[in-house]
Amino acid sequence: MSDDQRQITAFLEMMTAEKGAAANTLDAYRRDLADYVDFLRRSGVAVTGARKGDVSRYLQELSVAGLKPTSRARRLSAVRQLYKFLEAEGVVAESPAEGIAAPGKARTLPKTLSVDEVDRLITTAARAADGLSGRDLVRAVRHHCLLEMLYATGMRVTELVSLPRSVLKGDPRLLSIRGKGGRERLVPLNGSARAALARYLALGVAPEDGVAPMVATRYLFPSRAEGGHLTRQRFAQDLKETAAGAGIDPERVSPHVLRHAFASHLLDRGADLRSVQSLLGHADISTTEIYTHVLEERLKRLVTEHHPLAKKDP
């Protein structure tokens, strides 16, 4: 059995054991992935060595062969699921199918929040600590700090909650973040976020027990959870509670929505796409291009407001 076949077999076994996939579903995955592996073999590429360009060429070949968009989308979905599994198992650093839009489908615009709504969220989180003490104070201050840092940097929520204390070394205006695939990037930390972080650090205790010195822990946001740090689920839950307190529909708010807000607001105020790509930690500019609608709106506004003929009556 080849390495490619072993990877697919392991994936199908996972689908059976963990997902309870039906026989028909497994057969469909098996057929679709066998076709993908055959394409890679003809190109001299292994499953674990494929790049984004290989996946794109595979979809192009399917299109030339006359496959309907829905069938091509199904094949892409199978490839995505395979690489999601391999990424989780540590076999590949990053999925080459990430950021590739499904054939025949326009990429949906990301949900986001207005600047005013984000301000209300942050203000609500800051005020939540008023009058509190002990463990409740620590948790409230921690949540405000997390919210400030998320909006200031656009970090992925997993990157945020698992930040090591070592990020505090060096220039306090910059954070060194290790993202997907082990890639490191520098992101600036604005004054508001630095102040919230300083307030949190000044408390000097681990959030989950209120006693242990935080300096003795590996993580910036320690917890008794299995991973040793605050979970993304807990932060997301706290964020929805903050949204409700700010008068915003909690269903519209999540850590990922705030990441989108970070990117959208930067672009709306003049940042270029490449800079935002770097700050978000996207490996490929095509992933960042979901925000081009923001650039288009900005250009329309620029022409409307500044072109000498724009405001003349027709």
Q: Give the alpha-carbon dihedral of 263, 158, 183, 99, to 10 degrees.
A: -60
> What is the distance between the alpha carbons of residues 119 and 152, in angstroms, rounded to a whole number?
12
The secondary structure of the chain in percent helix, strand, coil, rounded to multiples of 5, reads 60, 5, 35
Q: Is 201 exposed, middle or buried (0-12, 13-18, 19+ CB in 10 A)?
A: middle
| Tokens read off for 137 | 């104070």
Cβ neighbours around 16 below 10 Å, total: 14
- The CA distance from 52 to 50, in Å, is 7
To the query of whether residue 143 is one of the catalytic residues in this protein, the response is no
Does 307 qualify as catalytic in the annotation? no
Angle, helix 23-42 to helix 3-17, in steps of 10 degrees: 160
Residue 41: alpha-carbon gap to chain centroid: 32
Q: Is 151 a catalytic residue?
A: no
Select which of 120, 156, 232, 265 is catalytic: 156
Please confirm, yes or no, whether 51 is among the known catalytic residues: no
Q: Catalytic pick from 180, 194, 199, 234? A: 180
Assess whether 259 carries a catalytic annotation.
Answer: yes
Nearest Cα to Cα of residue 184 among 194, 176, 192: 176
Active site residue 282: yes
The residues that are catalytic are 156, 180, 256, 259, 282, 291
